[in-house]
């Protein structure tokens, strides 16, 4: 276990205290026994992928555990929430990523810049939508690194990394921490990438094409939106509103 992972342990402890919950209550939220949870909070055990998914399904904030940034709702989430179906939300998410990318292009002359993680995650989202593939391979392509280099960055052996890239296993909290601290990719891009996380009706009808884009949360998009000038926001809102109207029409028809 790397020294940096202690930050995740500290945030897990802080999260529990902030939520005013006991270790027993938190153990239920992560789907483990109280004794196992105590080991997670002491750092003796790493938070597994299954624990993270259970935590997320119970309303837990994985983004905070890994990055230290709370996931906050904003106007972009409002657009997503107005969509009724999972397919509609996927389409809205695609539109939001595209609109935010346009906004960043319009703001490129500004001296003040967002953290590089925002640009990297949006580039990844755009790549996955334009050429859906495998999110781990997409990350390696963007950063121009080999499987062996990725395994070294994540602190795991090559055999385990290959299983991770082939989506046989999911990433634990230490892998997510290294992915963010070393390469700046937020946890949701890989937490939501496994094939079984996409709704069956979407996967069966359109297969791999829609799989990866469905999982992108709006954390980085929201950071970019807050950065935009009022003029740029006012130019983008009508585009999002018109897109939402069309999506809702299709949803209601079906």
Q: What is the pLDDT of residues 38-93, one digit of tens each?
A: 999 999 999 999 999 999 899 899 999 999 988 777 888 889 889 999 889 888 98
Determine the topology of domain 3-60 in CATH.
434 Repressor (Amino-terminal Domain) (1.10.260)
Structure-token pair, residue 41? 């909070």
Rounded to whole angstroms, the Cα distance separating 228 from 114 reads 10
CA distances from 224 to 83, 187, 195 (A): 22, 18, 28
pLDDT in tens, 187-236: 988 886 544 444 444 344 433 333 334 445 577 788 899 999 999 999 99
For residue 97, pLDDT over 80 is answered with yes
Rounded to whole angstroms, the Cα distance separating 174 from 247 reads 38
Buried b / exposed e along 41-66 (16+ C-beta atoms within 10 A): bebebbbbbebbbbbbeeebbbbbbb
For residue 178, pLDDT over 70 is answered with yes
- Give φ, ψ of 117 to 5 degrees: -60, -35
Rounded to whole angstroms, the Cα distance separating 231 from 208 reads 37
∠20-24-28 over CA atoms, to 5°?
100
Give which of 248, 229, 221 is closest to 71, Cα–Cα.
221
pLDDT at 6: 95
- Contacts of 24 by beta carbon, 8 Å cutoff, 6+ apart: 34, 37
Rounded to whole angstroms, the Cα distance separating 111 from 212 reads 33
pLDDT-based confidence at residue 173 (cuts at 50, 70, 90): very high
3-state helix, strand, coil in the chain (%, to 5): 70, 0, 30
∠60-223-144 over CA atoms, to 5°?
90
Element containing residue 169 per DSSP (H, E): none
Rounded to whole angstroms, the Cα distance separating 64 from 14 reads 10
pLDDT in tens, 102-161: 999 999 888 788 888 888 888 888 777 766 668 899 999 999 999 999 999 999 999 999
Note whether 190 and 179 are within 8 A (CB): yes
The ranges assigned to domains in the chain are 3-60, 75-253
């Amino acid at each position: 276990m790397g020294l940096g992972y202690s930050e995740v342990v500290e945030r897990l402890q802080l999260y529990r205290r902030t939520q005013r919950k006991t270790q027993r209550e938190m153990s239920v939220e992560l789907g483990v026994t109280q004794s196992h949870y105590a080991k997670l909070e002491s750092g003796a055990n790493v938070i597994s992928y299954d624990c993270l998914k259970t935590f997320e399904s119970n309303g837990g904030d994985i983004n905070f555990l890994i990055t230290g940034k709370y996931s906050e709702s904003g106007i972009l989430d409002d657009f997503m929430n107005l969509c009724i179906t999972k397919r509609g939300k996927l389409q809205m998410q695609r539109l939001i990523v595209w609109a935010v990318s346009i906004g960043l292009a319009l703001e490129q002359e500004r001296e003040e810049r967002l953290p590089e993680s925002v640009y990297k995650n949006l580039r990844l989202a755009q790549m996955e939508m334009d050429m859906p593939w495998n999110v781990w391979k997409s990350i390696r392509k963007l950063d121009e690194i080999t499987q062996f280099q990725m395994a070294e960055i994540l602190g795991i052996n090559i055999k385990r990394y290959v299983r991770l890239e082939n989506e046989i296993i999911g990433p634990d909290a230490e892998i997510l921490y290294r992915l963010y601290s070393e390469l700046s990719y937020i946890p949701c891009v890989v937490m939501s990438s496994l094939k079984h996380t996409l709704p069956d009706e979407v996967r069966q009808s359109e297969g791999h094409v829609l799989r990866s884009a469905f999982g992108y949360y709006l954390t980085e998009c929201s950071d970019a939106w807050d950065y935009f000038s009022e003029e740029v926001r006012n130019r983008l809102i009508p585009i999002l509103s018109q897109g939402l109207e069309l999506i809702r029409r299709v949803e209601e028809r079906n």
